[in-house]
Amino acid sequence: MPSPSRETLSVVTKFDGAEKIGKTKLNFGEGIERIEVEQRMDAPDFFSIEFKIQATADPQKFYLIDDLKLGMEVEIQMGYEDIETVFLGEVSYIEPTIEPGHTAVAASGYDFAHRMTRGTKSTTWGKGVEADQTVTTIAGDLISKSEARQGNSSDGLSAKKDSGTTKVEYHAVVNQNPYLALQQLVGATGCAQDSGHLDSKKQVEFKSPQIKSSPVLTICRDKKDPKKAVKARRAKFSLSTVRQVAKVEVRGYDPATKKAIKGECKAVSEAFKGTTGPKAAGKAHWGASSKGPVLTIVDRPVRDKKEAEAIAQSIFDGLSMQFQTAEIEIQGTPKVKAGSVVELKQFTKRFDGKYLVESCTHLITGAGNNTPYICILSLTRNAHP
């Protein structure tokens, strides 16, 4: 596929608010050799910056190695025409490499939501009598009350969440880290990611993927359509029925009424345009779109039929989103982020259309490259035209 025309790349890296670390100025192409930012829907964002230290430097004066500190706040901005912040977080790793003729150090880490992945805790909401516990309030508590239990030091996070109305009588977190508990709360296709690149560096966003939203970018195979579209440098697709089922059922037991609980789901809650994965699998392997295997879940505690149906729906939605996937490489742009929607054109009718960005890797590999800044997108959707 054609390579994009080269434009002027702007890169800004800040450690603790300064464009330098100790005495070392942070200029891409001089001291900085490589920058990588990986944004994911299902995990805290990750960054890695590789610095090269001059070979003539006095081994006793490798200032950069000593000046880097764990916990330093990091901001990374990049772009061609428009420069935007693609990462806000902190240093968790410092990894020097020292050998004859080459000395380098890599600093890497995660957005501030990674603090929620450390350690475990147990807590409950509600008395199990009335449905007075809003799910979004529970999510907000998991985020804002996340802390280092030894010493009772707050993680300093705040929640940005949808104004949901779903309520439950009781919810328990038993010996889990808050991040995993949050993921389970919002469901298999929920989005629990740091939104520091949007609003605030220590704000965690709680929302469902907006697959009906307008595309932030159009990606074409050859001819740009419209003119603001970008061309793909590489594209790899997968269409698979392996993970598709016709129905998910969740079974449990109510000790109070001594009756079985059963909730089921046979359709996606929100679909991209076209034939959904479960229907395509049924027609391809069992002769009808309504036929197919049934997945039964018996190890998820449920209070009632409504909760069982909600869990069945989230599992069904998660499996259906594995129906069609793509990995696309384009010239870098900070406009694309995990959780956004992009549109593909000129990749045949079957693979054209809108996709959800499951992850986005922003990669800068060298000032001397023809295209030093690229984005690698992992795309997914639950239907095809």
The pLDDT of residue 345 is 97
* Model pLDDT for residues 353-372, shown as the tens digit of each residue: 999 999 999 999 875 556 68
Name the residue with tokens 């490489």: 329
219-226 contacts, C-beta under 8 A, 24 or more apart: 219/328, 219/330, 219/342, 219/343, 219/344, 219/345, 220/344, 220/345, 220/346, 221/1, 221/345, 221/346, 221/347, 222/1, 222/2, 222/346, 223/346, 225/345, 225/346
Query: Residue 278 carries which DSSP code?
Result: H
Q: Which helix (H) or strand (E) holds 325?
A: strand 324-331
* Model pLDDT for residues 40-58, shown as the tens digit of each residue: 988 889 999 999 886 555 5
SS3 at position 76: strand
* Model pLDDT for residues 243-279, shown as the tens digit of each residue: 999 999 999 999 889 999 999 999 999 999 999 999 9
Is the model more confident about 205 or about 241?
241
- Region 154-179: mean pLDDT is 83
Among the listed residues 359, 366, 328, 323, the one whose alpha carbon sits nearest the alpha carbon of residue 344: 328
Phi, psi (degrees; rounded to nearest 5) at 154: -65, 145
Residue pair 110/45 in contact by the 8 Å Cβ criterion: yes
Q: Which amino acid is at 213?
A: S
Q: What pTM was estimated for this model as a whole?
A: 0.90
Of the CA atoms within 13 Å of residue 90, those in its CB half-sphere come to 13
Among the listed residues 325, 316, 310, 314, the one whose alpha carbon sits nearest the alpha carbon of residue 358: 325
Domains of the chain by range and CATH? 10-112 (2.30.300.10), 115-207 (3.55.50), 247-320 (no CATH)
The pLDDT of residue 163 is 61
The pLDDT of residue 189 is 39
For residue 71, count other CB atoms closer than 10 A to its CB. 9
